[in-house]
Structure 1
């Protein structure tokens, strides 16, 4: 049976990682909005912000998504857990979809291959942080740990 570890000792590190990713995305989005202001929403110009190609639509979406991730990282509840899982999946799906549209007119977010790679890395990191930042009562987390240790010891005995 699959489960998410509860109260993982490295949870603060995972929250910092997701917060840093959110901060980068927010800064990228703000910088992209400044660069692409005055252009059409889905322009396919050569505008680069923080190493990634962008247009106004992608920049606005990045501002919203970056703020979303920072809010999730700042919460000490399971809200951050669910937000990171969701964000990881969204990043992975978006990067695969946009990679398939790179050399077509349907590349409406003006992605480049570097944007695809960064999106995949962010998606994997956010998915990983979402898997290990679940919060629960200490008693439940301790019972889960004891059950896991018992299963491991039973599996190791002949």
Structure 2
């Protein structure tokens, strides 16, 4: 079984990264809605916002995901941990799925290759954030601190 660090000293930094990703996605979504308002929901034109191609549907989904990521980054408990793991997996799967349909009519979110790359990078960052921001009990925190400071047990 894999070991997920608990009470990692850099978890605040990782949550800040997740919050920044959420803020970018929210900003992208809001600007995307303003730019694509009045177009069909699943338009396949060349509308670019903040370096990524979009349509109204993708912009609306981005607003929702941005809000969810900001909420997850602002929570002190393990809710943010699970939200970031889930969002990271969703971004990875979405990026790969949309890459496989880039040049087809199934590209309903109007992705471009740059959008795929950004989606995969955000997915990796959110997965890393989810792995390192888990919070445990104070006893577990002390045990982790002891293990970090004295990694080799006596007698072994």
Task: Give the distance between the partners of 1:149 and 1:105, measured in 2 at CA.
Answer: 56
| Residues in 1 aligned to 2:103 and 2:16: alpha-carbon distance in whole angstroms | 35
C-alpha deviation, 1:87, in angstroms:
0.5
Q: CA deviation at 1:145?
A: 4.6
Task: Report how far residue 69 of structure 1 moved.
Answer: 0.1
Aligned equivalents of 1:97 and 1:131: distance in 2? 23
Q: TM-score, normalised by structure 1?
A: 0.92
The 5 A counterparts of 1:78-157 are: 78-146=78-146, 152-153=151-152
Give the match for residue 51 of structure 1.
51
**Cα drift, residue 62 of structure 1:** 0.1
Q: Per-residue deviation at 1:149?
A: 7.0
Name the CA distance, whole Å, in 2 between partners of 1:19 and 1:100: 29
**Cα displacement (A) at 1:140:** 1.2
- Consecutive unaligned residues in structure 1, runs of 5 or more: none
Query: 1:144 Cα deviation (Å)?
Result: 3.9
Residue-by-residue CA offset, 1:90-136 (whole Å, 9 max, x unaligned): 00000000000000011000000000000000000000000000011
**TM-score if structure 2 supplies the norm length?**
0.93
State how many pairs are aligned.
Answer: 154
1:56-71 alignment runs, 5 A limit = 56-71=56-71
Q: Please report the RMSD computed on the Cα atoms of aligned residues, expressed in angstroms.
A: 1.5
